[in-house]
Structure 1
Amino acid sequence: MMADREPAASPGLRPGRWAYDRGEFVPASDARLPLSTQALHYGIGVFEGIRAYRSAHGLFLFRAHDHYERMIRGCRMLRIPLPGKPSELVDLTVELLRRNAHSEDAYVRPVGYKLSLLPGMPPGVFLSGLSDAMSILTYSLPTQRLGAGVRCGISSWRRPPRDTLPAQAKITGGYVTGALASDEARAAGHDDAILLDRSGNVAEAITANVFIIRDGHLVTPPTTGDLLPGITRDTLLTLVREAGLPVTEQPVSPADLFSADEVFLCSTGKGVVPVLAISGRDIGTGAIGPVTTEVHALYEAVTTMPGGPHAGWLTSVMETP
């Protein structure tokens, strides 16, 4: 007989006690979707990952307004109206974080999706004639420090081109490619994978953007390519330019990866992640490099400095006592 309960969540990714689900705050364990949910069948949804960082000054959402602006743009492509402007969605998220009272860094996962066929609509794949919904979960998820770095492989799976799947939005159905690349990478003993585009240039890692460093110069693939314009990527471009570090957005080939002095990945979930080897080849000395260390320090500082030059990136979560 099959169990009638879902397995326990990983200790590192247990949702908070409360969730926002289809217009109201509900106990996270009570939220349920019908088996006919259209997003489940066809991947018609858009999500975001937003970080909340805890410091001595309190808990702060990082660039939440920018995340929700990107989410609204993505949902617009799929004809999914969200329940409010970016500022109102940020307010919903702040309230949810207050209710869940995370004692450490947190991760926020909002998702907008197609729910059910409206009366009179036949079964099929549509963007119209469907009801829409939005849900938000929050998780306690400590920030990964610089750590020991990761080892990547070059995936045999290609990043879908933007005229096949819009690259500028986090569309739920598109992440099956990342799942395939992840499975392939882990089976080969790698921690992550780097996906190429149809031209054979670097697109992105499974859920992260890619930077290389050569002679102290940072290079990252341009957003005109088949990659998500990451908000962490944009943050780092701003910070390194302010710090006087040279940076260029241009195509990056696999040969550029192998010959780089340093390589790192960046994402909302993981921050700055050094890459020590790719496809069995050490990058540079095979150790975390000085530029990656500096970029990580710049990013870590801006996420925990409410009074700094980028204070507008932080939204305070005024927790109840």
Structure 2
Amino acid sequence: MAHTPNQAPTLARKPHLHVYFEGQVVEAAQALIPVTTQAFNYGTAVFEGIRAYVSDAGVLNVFRLEDHLKRLENSARLLQLDNLPDRAEMKAILVDLLRHNQASTDSYIRPLAYKKALLPGVGFGVKLSGVSSGLVINTLPMGAYMPASGVRCAISTWRRIPDVSLPARAKITGSYANSALAMESAQRQGFDDALMLNVHGNLAESTTSNVFVVKDGCLITPPLSAHILEGITRDTVMTLARAELGLKVIERDISFSELFSVDECFLAGTGVEIVPVTQIDHYSIQAGQVGNITAKVRDLYLKTVRGQVPQYAHWLSPVIH
């Protein structure tokens, strides 16, 4: 019997009305780029996906903003995206945009730095130097969109692009064609997402998130050398698991065949948050139920992002209206 992908919760999302575009806040409909824009033609842009959560006190807090902006800077440096606001200014712009949009619910923020146009005297073609840079930031309401009951993942035949071909640590827009191909293939087979192997045949990531497995009570995740994104949610999970749950956390290679003997598995990313994996290809995990350690990690993560774990209050940047 054919399976259909799990349906995520359907949420009404009325887009925020304003974006930051080329140095000013404008109505979203006015934020337009020419069809000749270099990033549009060649995928030469970098971005961040950032979440903001409403606390029990009703305050909207951006989660780990400093870390996201640091990673954006590193990604921009790789593509020689120059003349961007410094970190303090970027933070102020982003928080001010949320205020301008009167954001009062859980929200998603996407800053995107991109290559604009060839400078005068620069020859035609794809390049990094001699090209001007631009910045746009948009925000929108966003709650949880992945099912808490878990997802089913195929192991993709599409391999993760190796770091020596396209830097895995940078969130480069063009690299996401790799993820789109893997996701399309998985969903056409009736799965919800795909686990992607690297060129060495070991686990890398899912299409848009890092992966953790549980074996014998230990939390295991691929190392950065496995051609993966240095995920901020990944770091959050490892920190919380060690310090608050007392778990042993191991970063090591996970082979293809080992995936069929894990006790638990979950995905971790800013967008998906923490989502259990209940099946990998034909292999059913925990009889299709959410594992105990996965449930504990997910619960602790969701409490942390909402400011319910005081020792991690430094991860929260409040948006004061």
User: TM-score, normalised on structure 1?
Assistant: 0.93
Query: Taking structure 1 as reference, are residues 140 and 70 closer, same or farther at Cα in structure 2, changes over 3 Å only?
Result: same
Aligned to 2:50: 50
Aligned to 1:249: 251
Query: Taking structure 1 as reference, are residues 82 and 308 closer, same or farther at Cα in structure 2, changes over 3 Å only?
Result: farther
Q: Deviations over 1:14-72 (max 9, x none)?
A: 53111000111101121100010100111001000000001222100000110010010
Aligned to 1:171: 172
Q: Is the 8 A contact 2:204 2:227 kept in 1?
A: yes
Aligned to 1:279: 281
Query: Taking structure 1 as reference, are residues 12 and 204 closer, same or farther at Cα in structure 2, changes over 3 Å only?
Result: farther
Aligned partners of 2:109 and 2:90: how far apart in 1?
12
Aligned to 2:314: 312
Aligned partners of 2:292 and 2:141: how far apart in 1?
30
CA deviation after TM superposition for structure 1 residue 84, in Å: 2.0
Secondary structure of the equivalent of 2:271? Answer: coil
Query: Taking structure 1 as reference, are residues 162 and 149 closer, same or farther at Cα in structure 2, changes over 3 Å only?
Result: same
Query: Taking structure 1 as reference, are residues 288 and 186 closer, same or farther at Cα in structure 2, changes over 3 Å only?
Result: same
Aligned partners of 1:28 and 1:312: how far apart in 2?
32
Q: Is the 8 A contact 2:210 2:267 kept in 1?
A: yes
Aligned partners of 2:11 and 2:274: how far apart in 1?
23
Q: Is the 8 A contact 2:50 2:108 kept in 1?
A: yes
Aligned to 1:94: 95
Aligned to 1:291: 293
CA deviation after TM superposition for structure 1 residue 144, in Å: 4.4
Aligned to 1:32: 32
Aligned partners of 1:42 and 1:206: how far apart in 2?
21
Q: Partner amino acid for 1:189?
A: G
Q: Deviations over 1:171-220 (max 9, x none)?
A: 01100000101110110001000100001000000000000001211000
Gaps of 5+ in 1: 1-9
Q: Deviations over 1:134-184 (max 9, x none)?
A: 100001011347611000000110001100000001001100000101110
Aligned partners of 2:187 and 2:168: how far apart in 1?
24
Q: Does 1:15 align with 2:15?
A: yes
Gaps of 5+ in 2: 1-9
Aligned to 1:62: 63
Aligned partners of 1:44 and 1:14: how far apart in 2?
29
CA deviation after TM superposition for structure 1 residue 120, in Å: 1.8
Query: Taking structure 1 as reference, are residues 318 and 255 closer, same or farther at Cα in structure 2, changes over 3 Å only?
Result: same
Aligned partners of 1:134 and 1:14: how far apart in 2?
23
Secondary structure of the equivalent of 1:274? Answer: strand
Aligned partners of 1:306 and 1:290: how far apart in 2?
21
Q: Partner amino acid for 1:274?
A: P
Secondary structure of the equivalent of 1:107? Answer: strand
1:1-321 to 2 correspondence within 5 Å?
A: 12=12, 14-57=14-57, 58-81=59-82, 83-144=84-145, 147-243=148-244, 244-305=246-307, 308-319=310-321
Aligned partners of 1:87 and 1:152: how far apart in 2?
39
Aligned partners of 1:173 and 1:30: how far apart in 2?
24
User: TM-score, normalised on structure 2?
Assistant: 0.93
Aligned to 1:3: none
Question: In the comparison of the two structures, how many residue pairs are matched?
Answer: 310
Secondary structure of the equivalent of 1:119? Answer: coil
Q: Partner amino acid for 1:245?
A: L
Secondary structure of the equivalent of 2:40? Answer: helix
- The range that moved more, 252-261 or 147-156, is 252-261
Aligned partners of 2:287 and 2:55: how far apart in 1?
34
Secondary structure of the equivalent of 1:224? Answer: helix
Aligned partners of 1:143 and 1:182: how far apart in 2?
19
Q: Deviations over 1:250-305 (max 9, x none)?
A: 00112222111100000001110000001122013221011000001111111111
Aligned partners of 1:105 and 1:225: how far apart in 2?
32
Aligned partners of 1:32 and 1:144: how far apart in 2?
28
Aligned partners of 2:208 and 2:31: how far apart in 1?
26
Counting aligned pairs with the same residue, the percent is 44
Q: Is the 8 A contact 2:202 2:226 kept in 1?
A: no
